[in-house]
Amino acid sequence: MATEIDSLLGKIHQGDCVAGLKQLPSDSIDLAFADPPFNIGYKYDQYDDRLGSEKYLDWSNEWMQEIYRVLKPAGTFWLAIGDEYAAELKVAATKLGFSTRNWVVWYYTFGVHCKTKFTRSHAHLFYFVKNPAQFTFNRDAIAVPSARQLVYGDKRANAKGRTPDDTWVLRPQDLPEGFSKEEDTWYFPRVAGTFKERSGFHGCQMPEQLLGRIIRACSCEGEIVLDPFSGSSTTLTVAKKLGRQYFGYELSDDYVKLGTRRLEAANAGDRLEGAEEPNVSAPATHSQKARRLADPSPKAVKKKAVKKKAAKKSVEKKSAEKKSAEKKSAEKKPVEKKPAKKRAVKKKPTKKKAAKRKPVVKMVKPSSQLSIEFGP
């Protein structure tokens, strides 16, 4: 017997998602977002992420079939998956009856560094609908500034912006020539370990703004959002903040407790973590402001300015005190006059005059000859 949806809303239910989905009535969910295990050996506390390939695909097919069944005729299904099984799961979803609206590539940095291959910096986001002729897509709710607005300042630009692209890039302001708003570019930072948004208990946390775009675009206020792999509970937390009804499933007892705690701290109407349009709010990497948090509050800006001013005054005060101390020290210490150095007078070398040889005249006898000898 199918479980009444109303009794499930607003909670994370502990247990296997396949068993839980089978208890749901058909045609009852407006939007489902799934970020399942990628089967890459990630260490979960209550799940083996190293299934055989065939077993993993059979399991994936089973839970996706239930997603298709529980979605309303105009329902939408988003699937986040890695490279290893992206193609296989897209084919499987198509065989189940889903129509592909977009194959979105979410590009990010802060990926896990690799030594024997190129470092991965993207994930795949499949946008499926149950009926290609009937589905929800709220374009105005997710519009982003166009190139005419950001780059050219063109007055002809639509004030409402453009529809986002289908490649979501981390820092497009660093790639002005590589991506443009008219193409397929999305920009959302991966939730790295140092980010304030990080919940801390789950290693595969999605950014709130990424889920915000999906939920705003593919559902309306009051509609039901389902996440069969709640994990860090980002999907359900964002759904609550955006005024949707929600529920999910999670195998781990610890994740259920911590995710529930995160849900209880959120309220309808709360601002989503991160910048809604980081391309506008975040500076380029080479900018002097690159380390500033995106979209700071006026209070935070004022506090930072006061702190900076106080630090400057402190440096100036210490410098003045140092100069004053050096001056006083110089005044107290008597100045010793050094005796003037006597200038050495160089004596000119004297040349000894060679003694002149004087001739000595001697008389030699008995000869009458005159003999002349030179004496010393």
CA gap 143, 160 in Å, rounded = 7
Any idea what the CATH number is for the domain that residue 55 is in?
3.40.50.150
CA gap 238, 271 in Å, rounded = 9
Q: What angle do CA 214, 219, 225 make, to 5 degrees?
A: 85
Determine if the pTM surpasses 0.75: no
How many domains does the structure of the chain reveal? 1
Contact 13, 248 (CB under 8 A): yes
Predicted local confidence at residue 62, as pLDDT: 97
Q: How confident is the model over 117-144, as pLDDT tens digits?
A: 887 778 899 999 999 999 999 999 988 7
Q: How confident is the model over 326-355, as pLDDT tens digits?
A: 877 777 666 566 666 666 666 666 655 555
Structure tokens at 236: 């359900």
Q: What range defines the domain where residue 240 resides?
A: 5-281
Strand partners, 144: 162
358 domain-assigned: no
Which H or E run includes 278?
helix 278-281
138 domain-assigned: yes
Report helix, strand or coil for 290: coil
Q: Which residues contact 193 (CB under 8 A, 6 or more apart)?
A: none
Predicted local confidence at residue 155, as pLDDT: 77
86 domain-assigned: yes
313 domain-assigned: no
Report the residue count for the chain. 376
Predicted local confidence at residue 360, as pLDDT: 56
Which DSSP symbol is given to 49?
-
Predicted local confidence at residue 126, as pLDDT: 96
Which DSSP symbol is given to 63?
H
Peptide bond into 366 cis (omega under 30): yes
Q: What angle do CA 266, 271, 272 make, to 5 degrees?
A: 85
Which DSSP symbol is given to 334?
P
Predicted local confidence at residue 301, as pLDDT: 76
291 domain-assigned: no
Predicted local confidence at residue 357, as pLDDT: 59
341 domain-assigned: no
320 domain-assigned: no
Predicted local confidence at residue 142, as pLDDT: 86
Dihedral pair phi/psi, residue 186, rounded to 5°: -115, 150
45 domain-assigned: yes
Predicted local confidence at residue 86, as pLDDT: 95
Predicted local confidence at residue 215, as pLDDT: 96
Predicted local confidence at residue 315, as pLDDT: 87
CA gap 28, 224 in Å, rounded = 8
Contact 99, 132 (CB under 8 A): yes
Instruction: For 8-34, give one letter per residue: b (16+ CB within 10 A) or e.
Output: beebbebeebeebbbebeeebbbbbbb
**What is the 3-state secondary structure of 176-244?**
CCCCCCCCCCECCCCCCCCCCCCCCCCCCCCCHHHHHHHHHHHCCCCCEEEECCCCCCHHHHHHHHCCC
Segments of the chain scoring below 50 in pLDDT: 170, 172-174, 176-185, 192-195, 197-198, 201-202, 281-283, 285-286, 289-294, 368
